[in-house]
């Protein structure tokens, strides 16, 4: 029997999930007025930040449980749909994103600060990004989520993991109803992570690109120690990681 998730009661919820199932649904229906307003807001955002790209993305239309399986109903959109969040009275737009908790031998997790060219400059977060629809005849399932999480880790930190290396660690529901699917990767030496990140930065800079993360650090605690903004899930997941280390 499937039951819908109740309305969020807190700014962030950590959901109890054993397995995930993703079901494709139709795009949100927009009135001509909302669509026009969305395009205006998006055009202004691109004018302010020309690095923004109206690429493929995924929204979550509904979420509910079937036993201990979380079912996410998703639809393919493009990034301009997130401009609806600035349109009064528009339908709520909830993103689906993946992250990787990369532990190190120093005992903490790798977190990074988003660069000025991104949609969230200066924000600290785990390596990750918004989920994209599958290409071709592929399915959006947990295997695909793991693959996209690995790609984000490689693109942002220079660390290469494989989908089978990852463990489903947590699922969160936060601001705007955004669903975060968080995986944990195998532990690596902190020096190895640092060297791979620095090598990635050199390659990106030489190619004339701005790295997505302008800085990384290893955090062993519930805060980054910075006054910069941070992802809404970060403090809760750092607490979770610290608690798991104490109990192990």
Domain housing 16:
2-247
pLDDT digits (tens, 9 = 90+) for 102-122: 999 988 999 999 998 888 899
Report the CATH number that the domain containing residue 238 is assigned in CATH: 3.90.79.10
**Confidence band for 12, pLDDT divided at 50, 70 and 90:** very high
Share of the chain above pLDDT 70, in %: 94
CA distance 182 to 179: 10
CA dihedral (206, 207, 209, 212) positive or negative: negative
pTM recorded for the entire structure? 0.93
Q: Are 81 and 38 in contact (CB under 8 A)?
A: yes
As a dihedral over the C-alpha atoms of residue 150, residue 120, residue 24, residue 179, rounded to 10 degrees, the angle is: 80
pLDDT digits (tens, 9 = 90+) for 213-244: 999 999 987 666 677 899 999 999 999 998 88
Q: Are 98 and 131 in contact (CB under 8 A)?
A: yes
Instruction: For 153, list phi and psi in degrees, rounded to 5.
Output: -60, -40
Number of domains in the chain: 1
pLDDT digits (tens, 9 = 90+) for 83-93: 999 999 999 99
CA atoms within 13 A on the CB side of 201: 13
CA distance 164 to 161: 8
Across residues 182-209, what is the average pLDDT?
Answer: 96
């Amino acid at each position: 029997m499937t039951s819908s998730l109740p309305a969020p009661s807190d700014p962030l919820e950590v959901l109890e999930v054993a397995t995930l199932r993703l079901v494709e649904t139709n795009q949100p229906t927009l009135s001509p007025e909302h669509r026009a307003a969305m395009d205006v807001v998006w055009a202004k955002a691109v004018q302010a930040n020309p690095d923004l790209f109206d690429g493929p993305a995924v929204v979550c239309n509904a979420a509910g449980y079937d036993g201990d399986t979380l079912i996410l109903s998703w639809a393919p959109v493009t990034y301009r749909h997130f401009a609806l969040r600035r349109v009064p009275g528009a339908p709520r737009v909830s993103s689906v994103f993946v992250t990787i908790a990369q532990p190190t031998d120093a005992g903490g997790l790798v977190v990074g600060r988003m660069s000025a060219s991104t949609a969230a400059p200066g924000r600290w977060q785990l390596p990750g990004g918004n989920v994209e629809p599958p290409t071709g005849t592929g399915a959006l399932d947990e295997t695909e989520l793991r693959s996209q999480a690995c790609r984000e880790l490689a693109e942002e930190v220079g660390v290469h993991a494989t989908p089978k290396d990852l463990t489903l660690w947590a699922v969160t529901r936060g601001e705007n109803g955004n669903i975060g699917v968080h995986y944990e990767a195998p532990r690596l030496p902190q020096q190895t992570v640092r060297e791979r990140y620095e090598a990635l930065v050199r390659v990106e800079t030489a190619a004339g690109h701005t790295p997505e993360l302008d800085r990384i650090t290893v955090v062993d605690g519930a805060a980054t120690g910075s006054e910069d903004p941070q992802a809404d899930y970060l403090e809760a997941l750092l607490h979770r990681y610290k608690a798991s280390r104490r109990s192990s």
